[in-house]
Amino acid sequence: MEERNSKANAEDQHHRELLAGTAGGSLQAFGQLYDLLYMSLVRFIYRHTQSPSVVEEVLNDVMLVVWQKADTFRGDSRVLTWVLGIARHCAFNRLQRERGWQRIVDGPIPCECPGLDEARLATLDALEWALGQLSEDHRVAIELAYFHGMSCEEIAEVCACPVNTAKTRLHYGRRRLHTLLSEGNQALAADDFFEKTTP
């Protein structure tokens, strides 16, 4: 846990330096920041839009805002937290424009992962299925905590909600996820997920 926090702090420090360079107009710093955040943003945007065709467009919208607003970053949170908040807002706006208020139904993320054994793929499939069963609020809280290593305060900032609401979403999301993964053949996946990835 301590090692993970140390790594996250080092990454954030590097992100802050690149964001400061971006605020100063450095295209090189902006390009490096883009490269470092790309995969986290693509996954996050896809989970919100469920549409591979709009991921790159939303990503471009996000990075345009980052370029334009880099000098407004106050430093109260990690850079990734700030950027994911922008991504959530851009994805929401995009969905409103394209689909109105239609509810988005989750589906599996297409992924080619060479080198993964069958057991690991089964665990990932079970986890993907279970995440798809959660409400959007609970799913986002789980993803931000477990896949992006964010604290409840950072989750609250990304989701624009009070910290206690973020804690509640994380608690109930984790409980529901554990229940879903513990049913039938998914029991091993539940134990595997919660033992190895506790924030």
pLDDT computed for residue 62 by the predictor: 93
Residue with tokens 């850079």: 79
Residue 185 pLDDT level (bands cut at 50, 70, 90): low
Domains, the chain, in order of start with CATH, read 1-105 (1.10.1740.10), 111-199 (1.10.10.10)
Whether pTM > 0.85 for this model: the answer is no
Within 8 A by CB and 6+ apart from 94, the residues are 49, 54, 57, 58, 61
Q: How far is it, in rounded angstroms, from Cα 11 to Cα 14?
A: 5
pLDDT computed for residue 113 by the predictor: 44
pLDDT computed for residue 105 by the predictor: 38
Closest CA to 85 of 166, 158, 163, 161: 158
Tokens of 104: 């988005």
Q: How far is it, in rounded angstroms, from Cα 49 to Cα 67?
A: 22
3-state helix, strand and coil shares in percent for the chain, rounded to the nearest 5: 80, 0, 20
| 106 backbone φψ class: left, alpha, beta (φ>0; ψ -120 to 50) | beta
Tell me what the mean pLDDT of segment 65-81 comes to. Answer: 90
DSSP-based three-state secondary structure for 29: helix
Residue 37 has pLDDT above 90, yes or no: yes
Residue 6 has pLDDT above 50, yes or no: yes
Highest averaged pLDDT of the listed ranges 137-141, 143-147, 188-192 = 137-141
